């Protein structure tokens, strides 16, 4: 009799997260929990200025403080050829500044001391003489004639342009616009935000002179990429580098790049031959590590009177800060921005993108978004609403009319992506039904008569999750596949390792469920381990919602390899030929005599104790998985709001989320991902931004200025699902980790804009703080850009 898959914690089981056993007991093992014998502590001195020449650095007072072991400056790094390091986007970044500082918070010097207090005091004792330079804080200033040149360190860099890039069909798009009845336009800014994991970045470098081996415990979402980068920067051979990423307190993309602190701690450990711990403080994390977004987008849509979209044109000016250290696939300079409008059937599209250097922190990481798709989908859904309004069409009907239809898959988007599956109209219908669309429209009209402002916002999108395939996706030339290694012990228990790295996603729980699904081994019998480059198979790590699409597929594939070998063992045990053996969950049996069977555990035992002649002993294998395509989940998010016309405060009335991420491995974890994503979406729409004043001072360097939403103001979410299995993924799953963060913000913003419909206000840039909404409503004009930092009335 076949096993009950739910009972063994297989696919579809809302199995409790096994990692929570240690987390809720305070027994997690984070980098800062690790204490090595003889360990020293490193602190970083950061630049107070956004752009300044370094005239001199006097470290004598720091050296004089008892307990100080080493003071490092850019000059010292330069003497070891380590003052600059390569970024993940083929640029260079200063490890410690030599010539000048290029953003507030940049690393200028490091102190290594017996404890962190001494190191901090010694940092304050370092005297740096700066000569301030003119500051560039946004792309417009960066492009202005005569703008200060930020990257004068680079040969042949004569302006602040990082890249000019384009994609799509320019001529075809022009033709589409020539045929348009209506052209709808929109311009907006997606503000700079920060992934802001609760655990900041940090490392413990431990160089052992006796073995020449460097071990680094590090907060990284991609240990193998880091190993490759460290090998390059530190000129150490790869087999002498071990990167260990222990429990991570969140990542959200922030822990993908290589940071100067990691490199400095490594050099310090090599020089001092002692372990060196560096734990960034919260301010350091917020002002210097990979941010998200900060893109100015404008575009237009060619429309036929009947509502058909004929073409789309987009342009982006993106602010990359002082160093281009985004973590995007090499080929795509502005990430997957051109995934915009993928769920709509649009004949022609063209995108131009310009990246700019500014005097701001570097590292446009994909904050819970698959390489800039957050900006793409936000623009898409704001544009779609504006177009529907311009045409005087119902926003839901306009979407339905232009959706790629179920029977049209596979569908090639105007920008060249291949989408393969989905039921877009069905998802929209489920959402409209759940929110009570028609009733709400009536309520809204009635409320309006009494001076109350109600609004409804829709956001529908499909996004490309799970890079690669290796044809198109690489980081620093390393192709974006992933891996899994499964070792089944004699008892039928197992250990699974993958090249991914959980930072809260629950891999220890869900990977075991995939193995349970494929092999019938109860999930509780499977240990999952990740993050140690000495033991894990090579993989590209966890970000861009790629774990389930890529590493998760590898888990299924390695399980199938194990099953294939187990079949041979079963045939041997049952004394029949392999062709006569049938499989049901957890058990092989003789086709002609179903009662005669052996369990997977019997096979595991035989692999070590009773293998047939000629069969290699053991039951272990590894699978590398290079996906044929990205996965394309679909989501429909709908929010209703009420705006207070006297204060501009808007309250969320209801939120409905319909997600189609294909087959769900652990529905509870999927729902958790969606709720977390919607919370972040609400935060970005309503309160979050990191801005800079004219001098380049960062506003948003702590949690009083950079607001994280709490349970108090976050609205409730009603979740629904539609399941369209991914046609090419071994278990039919699609990515889900980022959908709600990506698609959510437009639902909230569209809802507020809908409430203000008829006032002439076309756009309010995020965050929709009450004062901005009030100002738009009362002055009847758009509110653009970041909130002002300080202006006198």
Partner 1 sequence: MYPTRFNYESPKSIAEAIALLHQGGGEAKILAGGQSLVPMMRLRFAAPEMIVDINNIPGLDYLTVDADGTIHIGALCRHSDLEKSSLLMAHQPTMAAAAPVIADPIVRNRGTLVGSLCHADPQGDWSSVMMALGGIVVAQGPNGRRSIPAADFVKGPFQNMLAFDEIAIEAIVPAPKGIPNGGYLKLERRVGDFATAGVAVAVESSQGLIIRAGIGLTGVGGSTINATAAAQSLVGAPLTAGSIAHAADLAAQAAQPRSDHRGSASYKRQIVKTFVVRILSGVVESIERAA
Is 451 near partner 1 (CB under 8 A)?
no
Q: DSSP secondary-structure letter at 783?
A: B
Between CA 377 and CA 385 the distance in angstroms is: 12
Token pair in block for residue 214: 């460097």
Least distance from partner 1 to the Cβ atom of residue 188, Å: 19
Between CA 706 and CA 312 the distance in angstroms is: 34
Is 647 near partner 1 (CB under 8 A)?
yes
Least distance from partner 1 to the Cβ atom of residue 108, Å: 17
Is 702 near partner 1 (CB under 8 A)?
yes
Residue bearing tokens 């092989």: 588
Q: Are 603 and 588 in contact (CB under 8 A)?
A: yes
Alpha-carbon dihedral sign for residues 6, 10, 14, 17: positive
Residue 463: closest CA among 318, 312, 335, 294 = 335
* Span interacting with partner 1, options 116-124, 204-212, 289-297, 510-518, rule CB under 8 A: 116-124
Q: Which residues in the 259-298 window bind partner 1 by CB under 8 A? A: 281, 283
Q: What angle do CA 771, 696, 146 make, to 5 degrees?
A: 115
Residue bearing tokens 């009450």: 770
Nearer to partner 1, 5 or 281 (CB): 281
* Span interacting with partner 1, options 320-328, 343-351, 558-566, 696-704, rule CB under 8 A: 696-704
Q: Please confirm, yes or no, whether 242 is among the known catalytic residues.
A: no
Nearer to partner 1, 33 or 646 (CB): 646
Is 784 near partner 1 (CB under 8 A)?
no
Is 782 near partner 1 (CB under 8 A)?
no
Nearer to partner 1, 175 or 781 (CB): 781
* Cα dist from 79 to 17, 109, 675, 747, 764, whole Å: 49, 14, 50, 53, 50
Nearer to partner 1, 120 or 315 (CB): 120
Number of residues that bind partner 1 (CB under 8 A): 37
Query: Contact with partner 1 (CB under 8 A): which of 649, 663, 675, 719?
Result: 649
Q: Which residues in the 28-57 window bind partner 1 by CB under 8 A? A: 43
Query: Contact with partner 1 (CB under 8 A): which of 181, 646, 651, 718?
Result: 646
Is 668 near partner 1 (CB under 8 A)?
no
Is 2 near partner 1 (CB under 8 A)?
no
* Span interacting with partner 1, options 23-31, 98-106, 318-326, 697-705, rule CB under 8 A: 697-705
Least distance from partner 1 to the Cβ atom of residue 750, Å: 21
* Cα dist from 519 to 580, 617, 642, 779, whole Å: 19, 19, 51, 64
List the strands of the sheet with 453-462, edge to edge. 453-462, 634-643, 650-660, 718-721
Q: What is the CA radius of gyration of the chain?
A: 27
Nearer to partner 1, 334 or 756 (CB): 756
Three-state secondary-structure class, residue 616: coil
Strands 309-319 and 526-530: unpaired
Residue 289: closest CA among 50, 109, 138, 106 = 106
Q: What is the total residue count of the chain?
A: 793
Q: Please confirm, yes or no, whether 192 is among the known catalytic residues.
A: no
Dmax (CA) for the chain in angstroms is 90
Q: Please confirm, yes or no, whether 369 is among the known catalytic residues.
A: yes
Q: What is the 3-state secondary structure (H, E, C) of 764-779?
A: ECCCCCHHHHHHHHHH
* Cα dist from 159 to 100, 143, 494, 696, whole Å: 17, 8, 56, 19
* Span interacting with partner 1, options 115-123, 266-274, 363-371, 405-413, rule CB under 8 A: 115-123
Is 712 near partner 1 (CB under 8 A)?
yes
Query: Contact with partner 1 (CB under 8 A): which of 14, 20, 117, 158?
Result: 117
Token pair in block for residue 102: 């290029």
Is 120 near partner 1 (CB under 8 A)?
yes
* Span interacting with partner 1, options 147-155, 520-528, 653-661, 701-709, rule CB under 8 A: 701-709
Least distance from partner 1 to the Cβ atom of residue 276, Å: 17
Is 592 near partner 1 (CB under 8 A)?
no
Nearer to partner 1, 159 or 281 (CB): 281
Is 725 near partner 1 (CB under 8 A)?
no
Between CA 199 and CA 92 the distance in angstroms is: 26
Q: Please report the beta strands in 564-644, taking only residues with DSSP state E, as ranges in sequence order.
A: 581-584, 587-590, 593-599, 620-625, 634-643
Neighbour-count burial of 39, counting CB atoms closer than 10 A to its CB (0-12 exposed, 13-18 middle, 19+ buried): middle
Cα 265–chain centre separation: 26
Residues linked to residue 483 through DSSP beta bridges, in sequence order: 624
Is 347 near partner 1 (CB under 8 A)?
no
Catalytic residue among 738, 739, 762, 772: 738
Query: Contact with partner 1 (CB under 8 A): which of 582, 713, 721, 782?
Result: 713
Query: Contact with partner 1 (CB under 8 A): which of 5, 32, 114, 121?
Result: 121
Catalytic residue among 110, 201, 343, 369: 369
Residue 546: closest CA among 366, 375, 293 = 366
Catalytic residue among 221, 423, 513, 601: 221
Catalytic residue among 102, 293, 368, 772: 368
Is 692 near partner 1 (CB under 8 A)?
no
Nearer to partner 1, 116 or 668 (CB): 116
Token pair in block for residue 263: 């490199």
Least distance from partner 1 to the Cβ atom of residue 239, Å: 37
Q: Please confirm, yes or no, whether 343 is among the known catalytic residues.
A: no
Name 475's Cβ contacts closer than 8 Å, sequence gap at least 6: 88, 225, 327, 329, 330, 540
Q: Which residues in the 751-780 window bind partner 1 by CB under 8 A? A: 769-771, 774-775
Neighbours of 316 (CB within 10 A): 24
Strands 161-168 and 348-356: antiparallel
Least distance from partner 1 to the Cβ atom of residue 34, Å: 19
Least distance from partner 1 to the Cβ atom of residue 742, Å: 22
Q: Are 688 and 376 in contact (CB under 8 A)?
A: no
Name 202's Cβ contacts closer than 8 Å, sequence gap at least 6: 31, 32, 218, 219, 261, 277, 278, 279, 280
Is 695 near partner 1 (CB under 8 A)?
no
Token pair in block for residue 66: 């008892």
Is 699 near partner 1 (CB under 8 A)?
yes
Q: Are 366 and 327 in contact (CB under 8 A)?
A: yes
Query: Contact with partner 1 (CB under 8 A): which of 81, 211, 609, 710?
Result: 710
Nearer to partner 1, 119 or 309 (CB): 119
Least distance from partner 1 to the Cβ atom of residue 710, Å: 5
Query: Contact with partner 1 (CB under 8 A): which of 39, 78, 116, 232?
Result: 116
* Span interacting with partner 1, options 261-269, 306-314, 487-495, 706-714, rule CB under 8 A: 706-714
Nearer to partner 1, 23 or 117 (CB): 117
Catalytic residue IDs: 221, 368-369, 738
Query: Can you give the binding site for partner 1, defined by CB under 8 A?
Result: 43, 116-117, 120-121, 124, 281, 283, 646-649, 686-687, 691, 699, 702, 704-705, 707-710, 712-713, 769-771, 774-775, 787-793
């Amino acid at each position: 009799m076949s096993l009950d898959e739910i009972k063994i914690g297989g696919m579809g089981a809302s199995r409790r997260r096994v990692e929570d056993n240690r987390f809720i007991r305070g027994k997690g093992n984070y980098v800062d929990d690790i204490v090595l014998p003889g360990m020293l502590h490193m602190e970083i001195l950061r630049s107070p200025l956004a752009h300044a020449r370094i005239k001199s650095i006097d470290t004598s007072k720091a050296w004089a403080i008892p307990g100080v072991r080493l003071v490092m400056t850019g000059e010292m790094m330069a003497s070891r050829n380590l003052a600059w390091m390569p970024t993940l986007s083929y640029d260079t970044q200063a490890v410690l500044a030599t010539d000048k500082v290029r953003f507030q918070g940049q690393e200028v010097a490091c102190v290594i001391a017996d404890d962190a207090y001494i190191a901090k005091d010694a940092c304050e004792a370092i005297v740096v003489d700066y000569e301030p330079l003119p500051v560039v804080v946004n792309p417009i200033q960066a492009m202005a004639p005569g703008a200060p040149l930020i990257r004068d360190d680079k040969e042949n860099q004569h302006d602040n342009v990082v890249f000019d890039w384009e994609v799509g069909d320019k001529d075809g798009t022009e033709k589409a616009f020539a045929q348009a009845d209506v052209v709808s336009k929109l311009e907006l800014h997606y503000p700079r935000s920060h992934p802001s994991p609760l655990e900041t970045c940090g490392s413990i470098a431990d160089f052992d002179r006796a073995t020449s081996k460097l071990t680094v415990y590090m907060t990284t979402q991609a240990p193998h990429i880091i190993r490759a980068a460290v090998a390059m920067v530190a000129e150490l051979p790869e087999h002498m580098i071990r990167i260990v990423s222990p429990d991570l307190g969140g990542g959200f993309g922030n822990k993908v790049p290589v940071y100067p602190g990691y490199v400095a701690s490594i050099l310090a450990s090599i020089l001092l031959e002692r372990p060196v711990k560096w734990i960034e403080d919260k301010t350091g994390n917020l002002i210097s590590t990979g941010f998200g977004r900060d893109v100015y987008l404008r575009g237009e849509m060619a429309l036929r009177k009947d509502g058909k979209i004929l073409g789309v044109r987009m342009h982006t000016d993106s602010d990359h800060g002082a160093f281009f250290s985004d973590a995007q696939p090499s080929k795509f300079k502005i990430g997957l921005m051109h995934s915009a409008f993928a769920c709509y059937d649009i004949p022609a599209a063209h995108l131009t993108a310009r990246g700019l250097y500014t005097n701001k922190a570097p590292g446009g990481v994909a904050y819970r978004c698959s390489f800039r798709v957050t900006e793409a989908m936000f623009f898409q859904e704001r544009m779609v609403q504006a177009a529907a309004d311009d045409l005087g069409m119902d926003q839901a009907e306009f979407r339905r009319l232009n959706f790629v239809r179920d029977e049209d898959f596979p569908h090639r988007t105007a920008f060249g992506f291949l989408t393969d599956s989905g039921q877009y109209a069905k998802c929209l219908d489920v959402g409209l039904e759940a929110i009570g669309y028609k009733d709400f429209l009536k309520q809204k009209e009635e409320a309006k008569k009494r001076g109350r402002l109600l609004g409804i916002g829709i956001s529908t999108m499909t996004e490309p999750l799970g890079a690669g395939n290796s044809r198109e996706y690489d980081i620093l030339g390393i192709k974006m596949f992933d891996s899994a290694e499964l070792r089944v012990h004699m008892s039928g228990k197992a250990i699974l390792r993958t090249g991914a790295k959980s930072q809260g996603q629950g891999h220890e729980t869900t990977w075991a469920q995939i193995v349970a699904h494929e092999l019938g081994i109860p999930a509780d019998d499977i240990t999952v381990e990740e993050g140690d480059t000495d033991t894990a198979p090579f993989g590209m790590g966890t970000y861009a919602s790629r774990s389930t699409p890529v590493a998760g597929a590898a888990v299924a594939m390695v399980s199938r390899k194990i099953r294939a070998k187990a079949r041979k063992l079963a045939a041997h045990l049952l004394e029949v030929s392999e062709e006569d053996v049938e499989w049901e969950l957890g058990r092989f049996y003789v086709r002609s005599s179903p009662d005669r069977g052996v369990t997977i555990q019997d096979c595991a035992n035989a692999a070590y104790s009773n293998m047939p002649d000629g069969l290699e002993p053991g039951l272990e294998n590894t699978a590398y998985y290079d996906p044929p395509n990205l996965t394309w989940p679909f989501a429909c998010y709908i929010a209703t709001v009420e705006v207070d016309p006297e204060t501009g405060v808007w309250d969320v009335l209801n939120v409905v989320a319909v997600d189609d991420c294909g087959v769900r491995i652990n529905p509870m974890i999927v729902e958790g991902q969606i709720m977390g994503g919607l919370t972040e979406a609400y935060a970005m729409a309503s309160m979050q931004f990191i801005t800079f004043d004219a001098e380049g001072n960062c506003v948003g360097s702590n949690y009083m200025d950079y607001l994280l939403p709490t349970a108090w103001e976050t609205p409730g979410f009603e979740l629904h699902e539609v399941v369209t299995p991914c046609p090419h993924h071994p278990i039919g799953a699609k990515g889900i980790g980022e959908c709600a963060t990506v698609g959510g913000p437009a639902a909230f913003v569209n809802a507020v804009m809908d409430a203000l419909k008829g006032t002439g206000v076309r756009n309010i840039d995020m965050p929709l703080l009450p004062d901005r909404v009030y100002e738009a409503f009362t002055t009847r004009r758009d509110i653009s850009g970041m909130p002002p930092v300080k202006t006198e009335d």
